[in-house]
Amino acid sequence: MRTVAIIDYGMSNLRSVARALEFVAAGRHRVTISADPETIAGADRVVFPGQGAIGQCMDNLRSHGLLDVLRQCLCEKPFLGICLGLQSLMEWSAEDGGTACLAFLPGQVVRFPDTLTDPASGLRLKIPHMGWNQVDPARSHPLWEGIDRGEMFYFVHSYHVVPDNEGDVAARTVYGPEFVSACCRGNIFAVQFHPEKSQRAGLALLANFLAWAGD
């Protein structure tokens, strides 16, 4: 049986991600939550979820001894990043006074401005960006299979990624201005929204990830 490892680095909503993956796996994949580098390295595919602040995320990855295996998995197997799992792939984040990230994708993470407004109404938009919003794929990808353009996904974040390379952009979303809500490169696919909280569309994306060969 194929295995899916959810990286446990001491933070994030691991159980809800696991339950969503177990539901779409329907017994065809074994889903495990693990902080053990050997278990993670031995899995067929890896999920890196995240909630909270990037500084603590990077500190916990170091203290749990997970940086090396995480970098290995980013090079070798189908990899899904969720929320901080996307932001951590950039070179640097403005959060927590400035935080060096994994530098797997060139770019940075910036905060939505406090003056963010709706261009149509002129009304001030709340930070964090929280709730349902449309996601527009920027390119075709196996993880978008069966998901309509403009489908609604669930977001909770105050920071967003700004990739240097247009080719790494997988989707965009409008909240005031447009921002990048998903990135992909090779065997890596990472999203700012939470598929495990996004009902039908989120489950479809997770099912597509389990079927994806990572190329």
- pLDDT, averaged across the chain: 96
Active-site annotation holder among 83, 101, 183, 184: 83
pLDDT at 92 over 80: yes
pLDDT at 12 over 80: no
Domain ranges, ordered by start, for the chain:
2-211
Q: For 119-140, what is the mean pLDDT? A: 94
Q: Is 73 a catalytic residue?
A: no
Q: Is 196 a catalytic residue?
A: yes
The pLDDT value given to residue 13: 80
The pLDDT value given to residue 51: 82
The pLDDT value given to residue 64: 93
Active-site annotation holder among 29, 129, 157, 194: 194
pTM over 0.95: yes
Active-site annotation holder among 129, 151, 184, 196: 196
At 37-83, the pLDDT tens digits run: 999 999 999 999 988 899 999 999 999 999 999 999 999 999 999 99
Strands (E), 8-150: 29-34, 45-48, 79-82, 92-93, 99-100, 107-111, 129-137
The domain made up of 2-211 has a fold known as: Rossmann fold (3.40.50)
**Neighbouring residues of 108: CB distance < 8 A, sequence distance ≥ 6:** 90, 91, 92, 93, 94, 161, 162
The pLDDT value given to residue 11: 80
Q: For 128-137, what is the mean pLDDT? A: 98
Q: Is 183 a catalytic residue?
A: no
Q: For 76-92, what is the mean pLDDT? A: 97
The pLDDT value given to residue 134: 98
The pLDDT value given to residue 36: 96
Confidence of residue 120 (pLDDT cuts 50, 70, 90): confident
